[in-house]
A = this chain, B = another copy of it.
């Protein structure tokens, strides 16, 4: 809980704040410009300047100011504060601050907190072999990539969920605030429980400009901005100015008022005082200071400070323009480095007066290296949730419905720990996971009416019709070391494609950093998938998220397509135990055939690809053809095709293969899950036709398998962008993935079969035609499809 203020600020406090700020600004400019001479102990010369000037100055002075003041309140109030910096291209500011507080040198001992360390800090920034210009996994104290903008608030709320002792300071840039993700990110406060969650303190940094334009929020009249922020449910505290000490005083006061208010809110909620149980109006800060503040006022006669021109490198010609060189030296000396650093380049003690110690430093907060806090999940034994399979496909269950039971028990088992959550855009029940409501409720901080169901302040299912928030909240939750699942309509997970990109990139780099501890994986459950959009049609049909994910680093990405309920349980059991991955699980919610007993399912998931001997007719002999499936609907069609082949072509040796771990198809050299060529060939053969029924766009299978010996014989059926509001079986017919078409493919591809099986082929074509006229007349699938079961 945020403690209330200890004592008023005195002059020494203010001067220490200002000195820290000047030091951070000095270090920021130094990183952008200097190769050497970090303390300006000699006159600045051309050879001290980097040949390529890269970085973002504009936002940095504001970020440094916020860090300086957060240090003070952390120390004064013994707070546990995590910072999330939206304008993350201000990377040099974050680096400057954690070098100053000592946390940088702790994880990077080759960059010590002295003159030589400062030289290296400067040189490495945006330099080949060095550190990126944005806040990145390499930046201590950060959970938030500074590349793409818009996710600061959702990351901040995700970090605060179930962390009642944590305060997350979320610095929102006014450029960032224009993005869709950020615009809906404000509503995170409708899902923050003041009892069980920590606090989020948004600090909207209005520096007025983006790359080339004023910002929308920066130019709003004050009254309209105030209405907007009040409308977002906040109590805004304004800090505006360009006179440093006045701003220091105002920002310190605003922080104290805000943190007092947070402490009040939490005390009230947690002790059941008046107002407990109603959504509070959380404080926030609006910080309006000039872009590029304290940098060059004018360059080449044009205003730079307080304009968009200070966004990146305000003096761009320093190496070749002596005037720029002089201006840079004057600018850096204006911070009075000799007052800030001793003769060894170490920060003087007085500038560190407010810097907290140990894990309370912003650069060392353990929540920002969430793996330090992760505990393994107590996943219940999946055998207790398994579907009993007495015959192949004789029963049917909703795979996600069965998973719901497991997740209910997992939710119950983490009731006290509160380190597992489900996120989804208004679809948890639609996706058949509603059993979890027996163990928890949906989080809701607005008014709850008597007619509402499953809503509660402390619910651990978090639903909002914003994929951006669901994804951002889950990322924030994972990055701070907890566990979760995002369940979504398959087509609309594309909304967060770009966010998943950034998270996968974060994980890829994190894995390469020994000091970053592994965090729980990002688990995407894609359901309500392409084949069962009965209500919704073409706009809801897009299985291409998998195509996107497989482009990311192979160390990070995994894709699972469990063919039935028990397989989904086995997949869930596996992915919940993994770390540092993006696991994509595609599973239907409609009742579908149960094929595998639970032990078989565990084995299947373990292998990733299995020959289903019970379904094939190739026992003891070489197959004539391989029928392979990946996905629940394709599995049913492949098995139905196999049963048709048994009936019509009993002599044919058919091998049936099922793929649950899609990356098994990739070469072993390309992906850690890739099958070796020998194993691949043993399953798929090197010379027999393989008819592959795939859940998604068929080309993906070719993209994974093109280097395999048998690839020329591989024939893939999948979704090819044909669909509408129609029956389930019509969807597979429209895309040529249906059992009849698969049998025709077998007839067409098995050498020598075409002539012998001409009647079978014709019969299949007739059945496709019968289907078409049947559904147009009856509006539902024909009985032989609806009632089909495996004959075994």
B551 A544 Cβ-Cβ under 8 A: yes
Output the nearest chain B residue to A210 by Cβ-Cβ distance. B426
The reply to whether A505 and B133 form a contact with Cβ atoms under 8 Å apart is: no
With both beta carbons as reference points, the residue of chain B lying nearest to A88 in the complex is identified as: B539
Residue among A181, A186, A307 with the highest chain B CB neighbour number at 10 A = A181
Known pairs A231-B227, A505-B539; A452 contacts B214 (CB<8 A): yes
Q: Are the CB atoms of A726 and B128 closer together than 8 Å?
A: yes
Chain B residue contacts of A726, Cβ below 8 A: 128-129
The answer to whether the Cβ of A126 comes within 8 Å of any Cβ in the partner chain is yes
Which residue among A55, A221, A455, A466 has the maximum number of chain B CB atoms within 10 Å of its CB?
A: A466
Given the known A-B contacts A303-B451, A426-B213, A446-B216, are A175 and B544 also in contact in the complex, defined by CB atoms under 8 Å?
no
B212 near A429: Cβ-Cβ < 8 Å:
yes
With contacts A179-B184, A721-B551 taken as known, whether A231 is within 8 angstroms of B228 at the C-beta atoms is yes
Q: Is A438 an interface residue when CB atoms closer than 8 A count as contact? A: no
Which of B231, B428, B509, B725 interacts with A54 by CB under 8 Å?
B725
The answer to whether B219 touches A778 (Cβ under 8 A) is no
| A225, CB-defined interface residue at 8 Å | yes
A149 in contact (CB, < 8 A): yes
Question: In whole Å, how far is A257's beta carbon from the nearest beta carbon of chain B?
Answer: 20
Residues of B within 8 A of A12 (CB): none
* Nearest chain B CB to A408 CB, angstrom units: 17
Interface: A497 (CB within 8 A): yes
Q: How many copies does the complex hold?
A: 2
Could you tell me if A231 and B229 are in contact, using CB atoms closer than 8 angstroms?
yes
Residue A621 at the B interface, CB < 8 A? no
Chain A stretch 462-497: residues in CB contact (< 8 A) with chain B: 463-469, 491-492, 494-495, 497
Chain B hits for A213, CB < 8 A: 426, 442, 444, 455, 463
What residues of B have a CB within 8 angstroms of the CB of A498 in the complex?
Answer: 492, 494-495, 497
Q: Does A224 contact B (CB under 8 A)?
A: yes
A104 to B11, CA, bound (A): 76
Q: How far is the CA of A52 from the CA of B533 in the complex (A)?
A: 13
User: What is the CB-to-nearest-CB distance from A144 to chain B, in angstroms, rounded to a whole number?
Assistant: 11
In this assembly, does A248 line the interface, its C-beta being within 8 Å of a C-beta of chain B?
no
Q: In whole Å, how far is A392's beta carbon from the nearest beta carbon of chain B?
A: 27
Chain B residues within an 8 Å CB radius of A725: 54, 126-127, 130-134
Tell me the interface secondary structure of chain A in the complex: loop
Please state if A776 and B128 are interface contacts (CB–CB under 8 Å): yes
Selected interface stretch from A74-82, A323-331, A562-570, A695-703: A695-703
Chain B hits for A132, CB < 8 A = 537-539, 724-725
Contacts of A51 in B (CB 8 A): 778-780
The docked-state distance in angstroms from the alpha carbon of A145 to that of B539 is 8
Task: Tell me the bound Cα distance from A492 to B427 in angstroms.
Answer: 27
The answer to the question of A711 belonging to the interface, with a C-beta cut-off of 8 Å to chain B, is yes
> Does chain B have a CB within 8 A of A588?
no
Q: A5 in the interface, Cβ–Cβ < 8 Å?
A: no
Distance of A300 Cα from B184 Cα, bound (Å): 37
Docked-complex contact A178 and B465, CB < 8 angstroms: yes
Contact for A214 among B178, B444, B727, B776, CB less than 8 A = B444
A544-576 residues with Cβ-Cβ distance < 8 A to B are: 544, 547-548, 551-553
The answer to whether A538 and B509 have CB atoms under 8 Å apart is yes
Residues of B within 8 A of A779 (CB): 35, 50-52, 127-128
A312 contacts chain B at the CB level, 8 A cutoff: yes
Indicate whether A756 reaches chain B with its CB closer than 8 angstroms.
no
**Interface flags, A492-512, vs B, CB<8A=1, else 0:** 101101100110010011000
With A180-B183, A465-B175, A548-B544 as given contacts, are A52 and B727 in contact (CB-CB < 8 Å)? yes
Q: A146: CB under 8 A from chain B?
A: yes
**Closest partner residue, chain B, to A302 (CB atom):** B451
Given the complex of chains A and B, what is the CA–CA distance between A498 and B24 in angstroms? 41
Q: Provide a sorted-by-A list of 20 A–B residue pairs whose CB atoms are within 8 angstroms.
A: A126-B537, A128-B776, A132-B538, A134-B536, A148-B491, A179-B184, A180-B180, A212-B429, A212-B463, A213-B426, A213-B442, A214-B449, A215-B465, A224-B233, A228-B231, A312-B535, A491-B501, A544-B548, A547-B548, A552-B721
Q: Could you list 9 further interchain pairs (A-B, Cβ under 8 angstroms) beyond the known A175-B426, A179-B467, A497-B497?
A: A56-B535, A134-B537, A134-B725, A148-B539, A214-B452, A227-B230, A228-B228, A494-B497, A547-B551
Report the 6 A-B pairs with minimum CB-CB distance, sorted nearest first.
Answer: A147-B539, A228-B231, A180-B180, A183-B183, A227-B231, A494-B498
Taking Cβ atoms with an 8 Å cutoff, the residues of A that contact B are 35, 50-52, 54-56, 89, 126-134, 136, 145-150, 175-176, 178-187, 190, 210-216, 219-221, 224-233, 303, 307, 312, 426-430, 442, 444, 446-447, 449, 451-452, 455, 463-469, 491-492, 494-495, 497-498, 501-502, 505, 508-509, 534-540, 542, 544, 547-548, 551-553, 697, 699-700, 702-703, 706, 711, 721, 724-727, 730, 775-776, 778-780
